């Protein structure tokens, strides 16, 4: 190696040769003069290569969440650009790869959930998952406030081994089919929007978990404008009630409500 600050001969280089394809550069870190044949300074190890524009862009795109573009740019820089540093491209490639995997996982999870809901809704049968002793078809439809509501059926149940009412009570499972024509999203919450009166006594809705798929059957959730939603509302009420009145208030701060009254003898 030459003296500090003096250039070093390259492999197979004739010291008497006046022409060389290599240029000599000065290390910005330690000041040592060496040939650009070397990827880094022989004295201190500092890398003299610069990042390419593509490498910088790949990092910028990834940071600003345009990671699909950052992923492509980083691959191009690493594979085809051999003359520049790849530090930023490698970082962009790792981050963008993780973000792409996370995006695919989230989208796949949503698709699986929606697919399950669509499959169960198309063959909607509460009795498949919930032990019901008696079923009463109602099929009463009302259309007010730009909301179309069908009270389809009532199921009376003693519950399951995992979830059961008090000895003197039973589960009243109400099946609804609601259509939203308001022009804006409609929030449905069984605890706030529904109430039951059994022989003039008030009972609030209950969230009962019968099995692992219960969340797909509750009516609760956000209903987009122009869409329909089918699901259930559950109440725990006394056995042998003679008259049941179900009220659905789409707007919590309003007294307007859909009212369904059922008289029956058990």
pLDDT (tens digit, 0 to 9) for every residue of the chain, 266 residues total?
444 444 444 444 444 444 445 567 778 778 777 776 666 787 787 776 666 677 677 777 777 777 788 788 777 877 777 666 677 778 888 888 888 888 888 877 655 555 444 444 444 444 444 444 567 778 888 998 899 999 988 888 887 777 788 889 988 889 999 999 999 999 999 999 999 999 999 999 987 755 544 555 788 889 999 999 998 899 999 988 888 899 999 998 888 899 998 886 65
Residue 222 sits in the same domain as residue 105: no
Number of separate domains in the chain: 3
Per-residue model confidence (pLDDT) at position 117: 44
**What phi and psi, each to the nearest 5 degrees, are found at residue 78?**
-70, -40
Residue 132's CATH number: 2.60.40.1240
The domain containing residue 4 runs over which residues? 1-48
- Domain end: 33, 48, 63, which one? 48
Residue 239 sits in the same domain as residue 253: yes
Residue 145 sits in the same domain as residue 174: yes
Q: Which of 218, 216, 215, 134 is nearest to 175 (CA)?
A: 218
Residue 75 sits in the same domain as residue 21: no
Assigned token pair, 47: 């890398």
- Domain end: 123, 146, 171, which one? 123
Cα–Cα distance, 10 to 22 (Å, whole number): 9
Residue 169 sits in the same domain as residue 195: yes
Residue 44 sits in the same domain as residue 58: no
> Does the pTM of the predicted model rise above 0.85?
no
Contact predicate 222/193, CB 8 Å: no
Residue 87 sits in the same domain as residue 106: yes
Residue 42 sits in the same domain as residue 92: no
3-state secondary structure of 215: helix
CA 249 from chain centre, in angstroms, equals: 29
Kindly state the greatest CA–CA separation across the chain.
115
Cα–Cα distance, 54 to 210 (Å, whole number): 56
Cα–Cα distance, 240 to 246 (Å, whole number): 16
């Amino acid at each position: 190696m030459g003296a500090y600050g003096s250039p070093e001969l390259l492999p197979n280089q004739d010291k008497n040769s006046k022409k060389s394809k290599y240029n000599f550069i000065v290390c910005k870190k330690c000041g040592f003069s060496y040939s650009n044949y070397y990827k880094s300074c022989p004295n201190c190890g500092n890398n003299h290569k610069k990042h390419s524009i593509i490498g910088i862009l790949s990092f910028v795109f990834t940071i600003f969440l345009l990671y699909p573009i950052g992923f492509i740019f980083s691959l191009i820089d690493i594979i085809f650009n051999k003359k520049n540093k790849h530090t930023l491209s490698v970082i962009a490639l790792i981050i963008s790869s993780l973000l792409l995997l996370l995006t695919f996982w989230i989208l796949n999870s949503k698709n699986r959930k929606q697919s399950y809901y669509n499959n169960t809704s198309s063959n909607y049968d509460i009795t498949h998952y919930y032990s019901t002793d008696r079923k009463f078809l109602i099929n009463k439809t009302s259309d007010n406030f730009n909301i179309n509501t069908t009270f389809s059926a009532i199921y009376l149940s003693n519950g399951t081994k995992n979830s059961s009412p008090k000895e003197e009570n039973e589960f009243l499972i109400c099946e609804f089919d609601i259509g939203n024509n308001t022009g804006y999203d409609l929030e449905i919450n069984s605890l706030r929007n529904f109430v039951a009166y059994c022989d003039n006594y008030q009972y609030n809705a209950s969230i009962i978990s019968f099995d692992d798929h219960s969340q797909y059957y509750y009516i609760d959730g956000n209903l987009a404008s122009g869409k329909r939603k089918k699901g259930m509302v559950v109440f725990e009420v006394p056995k042998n009630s003679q008259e049941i009145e179900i009220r659905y208030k789409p707007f919590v701060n309003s007294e307007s409500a859909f009212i369904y009254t059922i008289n029956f003898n058990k």
